[in-house]
Structures are given as C-alpha cells and as structure tokens.
C-alpha cells in the first residue's frame, strides 16, 4: 500500500537498504493501514486559484524573458552596431545565451531554498528579481551614447534575469503538481505552459504592434525600450498574485512530518537496541546538506531529467524563439510578419493544450511524450522544407506541423518532471537539472542554429539539429517510469472528494503493508 512518505522512515533512503526487515517492522507499527488522515483531499476552488496564480505569474515571467527573443535583431543594431548583420545577430543571440549560463546557479540557489523555506516565498522572490532586471534593461543607454558600457550593462541585467529564472520553472511546476489531485495532475499542470505561451504571445504581440506603429528607425531609437519598461509593473502584479497563495499541501505535510519525527521515535515500541539505533538514524534525516544529498542520492534521476529537458527545450526554443528570426533572415520576411505567423501558431497551441493535458491523465505521460519526440524526428525535415517554399500558407503549415509535436511536450512535461523526484528535494532537484539542461541546450539553440547555417551554408540545419535532439528525447522517454494517476513520491495520495478518499481506503483495507 502507499506509505505516508512524509513520515520519518522515508526521510533517509539508506534505512530501507541497510535494514530492510527492521524498516518494514517499524513502518508496519506506524502505518498498519492506509488511513483517511494520510490522504489529502484537495479543495477544487483552492486548486484552481493556485493554478491560475502560478500560471499568470509564469506568463508574466516569460513575457519578460520572451521580449528579448523577439527584439534580437533590434538589440543587435542598438548594442552591437559594428560588423555585418550576421555578426550583430550572433552578438545579440550570444547575449541572449548569457542569461542561460547563470540559470543553473539560480536553480542551485533557489531550488534547495524552496525545499527548505517553502515554494511560495521563493516564487515571489524570483518574479520580483526578474521584473527588476527587465525594467532596468529598458533604461540602458545605447552604444552610441555610452559606448562599450552599453553591452556590458545589457549583459549584467541579462544575468540578473537568468539567475531569477533559474528558480521559476522548477518552483512553478512543483507548486502546481503538489496542489493538483493525482488523477488530474496532467490537466492542471498543463496550464503552466499555457501561461508560458500566453507570456510569449503577449511579448510577440507587443513587439509586432510597436514595429508596425513606430517603424524600424523609431524602434531602433527608443521604441524597443517600451516592452522592457512594461515588464516592471507586470512583475509587481505577479508578485501580488503569488503572495496571496497558501503553501502547497505536500510541503505542509512534509514540514509537519519533520516536526513529528522526534516524537514518533520516542513513543514507538522499541523492543530491541538495534531498533532504537534505527529510529535515531531515521530521525536525523542523514547529516548531508540538501545540495549534496540531491547529487549523492538522485543522480540517475537528474541525468534522466537533463536528457528530457534538453530535447524538450531545443525543440521549444527552436520554434518559439528562433523561428521568427529564421523567416526574416533566411526568407527575407518582414520582422513583423514572422512574429504574426508565430503568434497564430501559439494561440492555436493555447487552444488545445489543456485538452492534451487531459489526454496524458487518461493515457499516461509516456505515450504523449513519445508522440511528441517521434513527431519531431519524422516531421522536422518536411516542416522546414515547407517553410522554405516561402509562401505564407507553406510557412504556416510548416510551423503548424512543428507546433503539433511541441504541444504534446508542452502539455505533459510540467506534470512528468516534478514526479521524477521526492517531495523533500523536488524543488531543488528539478531546478538544478532543468536549468542545467536549459543552459547547455535550450538557451544556446538560436546561437547554435545561426552559427551552423552560417558555417555550413545549409538552411536546413535547424531541422537536423531538432531531429538529433528529439532522438535523445525518445531514449529518455523510454527509460522513464510512468507516473500518471499516481501519488507524487514522498507525498500521500491526493484526491478531489471525501468519497474518493473513503473508496481508496476501502479498496486497500485488505492489502498487506508491504
């Protein structure tokens, strides 16, 4: 039967390995049957409120981050005026990638902190820091005004953005996953990426509208600042929404179990001296710091997460960040036209993402993830060949094909990734592995693809790069464990009604403890 993972016996995985018989005896005495009190009954209204606030906060965060992607060409003109157009674009994308260099540092700082002091507080801090960095980018004088200090300041505030974003995805996905009931986790968690798409759509729409209204010369002069300055107040709105939320039920149970561990060790029957030592060992929770424990005990899961996220982010950034630049640089579309096509694709993805989230609750996470990865392997080359045709319909069809593959990943990853790790190290483990993968693969995608095209002269290099990433993703998905409709590791079952909790207790009443 499911054991209350928040109990003392689960805080040290080595207890089970070293003394399995004793461990089972101790757990039988503490948890003879699945009890009603072990099950979390979620309040639907609270879950929806938490999901909305987390998704809206995520949308605002990715609005801030997406602005730079869609202003890459303009930023190249303003901050890197020397050299050819390709050199300016490479310099702009290099600065874009700089933010990803520090994302693992942000994840390593904010992730374990979120496991220690709570998800809510850390998520509030990350969005405030991101808004500050975005607002300050909009205040930087141009290269023509202050020379080399302009790109230096740009890089500094990009580092601030990257550091804060290091704690965002791991925290937001953990927050949603821990609030959602087991059987509907895929549906609720899909709204995290709905928020991501909404942030990108808002950023792309604002940039496209400003370009159409102001024209290229005015955009280069001062119009590019407007989206960055808008990001500051939006961040304050996101901060307000997140501060109103309560901590997740799973984290509250974890904190309660830590408080009760010494009492359990004192009151439980202890007929043998060896068992007394075992209780003491369990209550200490191992004298390792959280960061060290993550790598010592969970490195296989970290590696699996890096592979999944690497494949996922290369495909994601290729379509949502790089594609407007591709149709402008390679097909000579106007910058606003490429953005408008992408906006249409993202709105279409937003319309179906929650329904695909329902599918992964019904059929499982692995089938949806595998469909998306295999889709990129098979369809990337035909999609880019279509885009290369140049007509508007061909570009829409090619990007739409890639979007259908991507939505399978977008709707599923935010539920699948938090389930890879136990509650007591979930935020930290996911933040570290996710941001390590993003910094190596995701954030460098526009830069790598642009450099590959420039070096080889082959305009189909984005397709080949995407296919290679998706092949790694196929292997990673094959190796992962199915987690749909199951309790999160380290947390008791979570249901939506008291009647469902009663049925769950009744159905397991006759099952042995182990």
pLDDT digits 0-9 by tens, 174-203: 989 998 999 999 999 999 999 989 988 898
Distance CA(89)–CA(84), nearest Å, equals 9
Task: List 494's β-bridge partners, or say none.
Answer: 40
CA–chain centroid gap for 35, Å, is 33
- Rank 65-79, 267-281, 461-475, 484-498 by mean pLDDT and report only the highest: 461-475
Residue range 219-247: mean pLDDT, rounded? 86
Q: Which residues have C-beta within 8 Å of that of residue 457, sequence separation ≥ 6?
A: none
pLDDT digits 0-9 by tens, 300-323: 999 999 999 999 999 998 888 788
Residue-level pLDDT at 331: 82
Concatenating the DSSP letter of every residue in 232-293 gives HHHHHHHHHHHHTSPPPHHHHHHHHHHHHHHHHHHHS---SHHHHHHHHHHHHT-S--HHHH
Nearest to 360 by CA among 410, 312, 305, 427: 410
Distance CA(175)–CA(154), nearest Å, equals 31
Residue-level pLDDT at 276: 43
Locate 278 and state its tokens: 């075992």
Nearest to 369 by CA among 465, 264, 463, 483: 483
How many other CB atoms are there within 10 angstroms of residue 284's CB atom? 13
pLDDT digits 0-9 by tens, 71-122: 877 888 888 887 666 777 778 777 777 887 888 999 999 999 999 898 888 9
Distance CA(412)–CA(193), nearest Å, equals 9
pLDDT digits 0-9 by tens, 9-51: 444 444 454 444 444 444 444 444 667 677 888 878 888 888 8
For the cut 60, the answer to whether the pLDDT of residue 404 exceeds it is yes
Phi then psi for 494, rounded to 5 degrees? -125, 125
Distance CA(118)–CA(106), nearest Å, equals 16
Indicate left, alpha or beta for 176 from its phi (over 0: left) and psi (-120 to 50: alpha): alpha
Indicate left, alpha or beta for 268 from its phi (over 0: left) and psi (-120 to 50: alpha): beta
Radius of gyration in angstroms for the set of CA atoms belonging to the chain, rounded to a whole number: 24
Distance CA(220)–CA(439), nearest Å, equals 29
Going from the C-alpha of 199 to that of each of 14, 343, 391, 493, 509, the distances in angstroms are 43, 11, 28, 33, 47
Locate 444 and state its tokens: 């460098």
Residue-level pLDDT at 263: 46
- H/E run at residue 212: helix 185-218
Sign of CA dihedral 276, 282, 288, 292: positive
Residue range 408-413: mean pLDDT, rounded? 95
Distance CA(489)–CA(422), nearest Å, equals 5
pLDDT > 70 fraction of the chain, expressed in percent and rounded = 84
Distance CA(309)–CA(445), nearest Å, equals 13
Output the pTM of the full model.
0.80
Going from the C-alpha of 386 to that of each of 381, 390, 397, the distances in angstroms are 9, 8, 7
Q: DSSP letter for 444, please.
A: T
Concatenating the DSSP letter of every residue in 294-310 gives HHHHHHHHHHHHHHHHH
Residue with tokens 């179990």, as numbered in its chain? 257
3 state DSSP class of 449: helix
Task: Classify each residue of 196-210 as buried b or exposed e, where b means 16 or more C-beta atoms within 10 Å of its C-beta.
Answer: bbbbbbbbbbbbbeb
Nearest to 431 by CA among 326, 439, 158, 453: 439
For the cut 60, the answer to whether the pLDDT of residue 273 exceeds it is no
Residue-level pLDDT at 259: 62
pLDDT > 90 fraction of the chain, expressed in percent and rounded = 34
Long-range contacts of 329-338 (CB under 8 A, 24+ apart): 329/89, 329/450, 330/388, 330/453, 330/459, 331/387, 331/388, 331/390, 331/395, 333/395, 335/73, 335/211, 336/208, 336/211, 336/212
Nearest to 23 by CA among 37, 13, 34, 33: 13
Distance CA(354)–CA(196), nearest Å, equals 13
Indicate left, alpha or beta for 492 from its phi (over 0: left) and psi (-120 to 50: alpha): beta
Could you tell me if 192 and 54 are in contact, meaning their C-beta atoms sit under 8 angstroms apart?
yes
């Amino acid at each position: 039967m499911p054991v209350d993972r928040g109990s003392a016996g689960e805080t040290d995985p080595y207890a089970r390995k070293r003394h399995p018989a004793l461990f089972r005896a101790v757990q039988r005495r503490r948890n003879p049957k699945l009890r009603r009190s072990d099950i979390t009954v979620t309040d639907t209204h609270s879950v929806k409120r938490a999901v909305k606030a987390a998704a809206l906060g995520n949308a605002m965060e990715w609005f801030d981050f997406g602005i730079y992607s869609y202003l890459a060409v303009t930023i190249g003109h303003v901050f890197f005026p020397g050299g050819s157009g390709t050199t300016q674009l490479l310099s702009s994308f290099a600065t874009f990638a700089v933010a990803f260099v520090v994302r693992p540092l942000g994840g390593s700082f904010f992730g374990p902190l979120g496991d220690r002091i709570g998800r809510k507080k850390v998520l509030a801090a990350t969005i405030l820091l991101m808004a500050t960095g975005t607002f300050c980018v909009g205040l930087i004088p141009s290269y023509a005004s202050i020379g080399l200090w302009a790109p230096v300041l740009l890089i500094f505030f990009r580092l601030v953005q990257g550091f804060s974003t290091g704690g965002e995805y791991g925290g937001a996905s953990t927050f949603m996953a821990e609030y959602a009931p087991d059987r509907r986790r895929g549906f609720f968690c899909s709204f995290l990426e709905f928020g991501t798409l909404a942030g990108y759509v808002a950023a792309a729409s604002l940039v496209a509208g400003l370009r159409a209204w102001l024209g290229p010369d005015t955009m280069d002069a001062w119009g590019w600042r407007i989206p960055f300055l808008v990001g500051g107040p939006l961040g304050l709105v996101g901060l307000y929404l997140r501060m109103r939320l309560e901590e997740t039920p799973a984290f509250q149970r974890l904190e309660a179990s830590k408080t009760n561990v010494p009492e359990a060790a004192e009151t439980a029957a202890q007929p043998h001296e060896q068992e007394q030592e075992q209780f003491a060992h369990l209550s200490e929770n191992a004298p390792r710091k959280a960061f060290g424990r993550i790598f010592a005990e969970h490195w296989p899961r970290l590696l699996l997460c890096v592979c999944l996220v690497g494949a996922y982010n290369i495909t994601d950034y290729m379509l949502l960040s790089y594609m407007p630049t591709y149709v402008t640089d390679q097909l000579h579309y106007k910058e606003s036209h490429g953005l408008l096509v992408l906006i249409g694709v993202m709105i279409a993805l937003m319309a179906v993402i929650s329904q695909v989230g329902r599918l992964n609750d019904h059929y499982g996470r692995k089938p949806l993830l595998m469909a998306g990865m295999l889709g990129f392997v098979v369809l990337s080359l035909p999609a880019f060949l279509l885009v290369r045709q140049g007509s508007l319909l061909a570009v829409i069809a090619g990007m739409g094909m890639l979007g259908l593959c991507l939505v399978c990943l977008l709707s599923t990853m935010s539920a699948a990734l938090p389930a890879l790790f136990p509650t007591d190290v979930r935020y930290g483990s996911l933040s570290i592995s996710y941001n390590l993968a993003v910094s190596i693969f995701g954030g460098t995608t526009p830069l790598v693809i642009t450099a590959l095209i420039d070096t080889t002269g082959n305009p189909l290099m984005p397709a080949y790069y995407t296919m290679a990433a998706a092949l790694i993703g196929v292997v990673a998905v094959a190796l992962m464990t199915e987690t749909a409709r199951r309790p999160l590791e380290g947390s008791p079952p979570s249901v939506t009604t008291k009647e469902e909790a009663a049925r769950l207790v009744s159905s397991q009443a006759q099952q042995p403890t182990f």
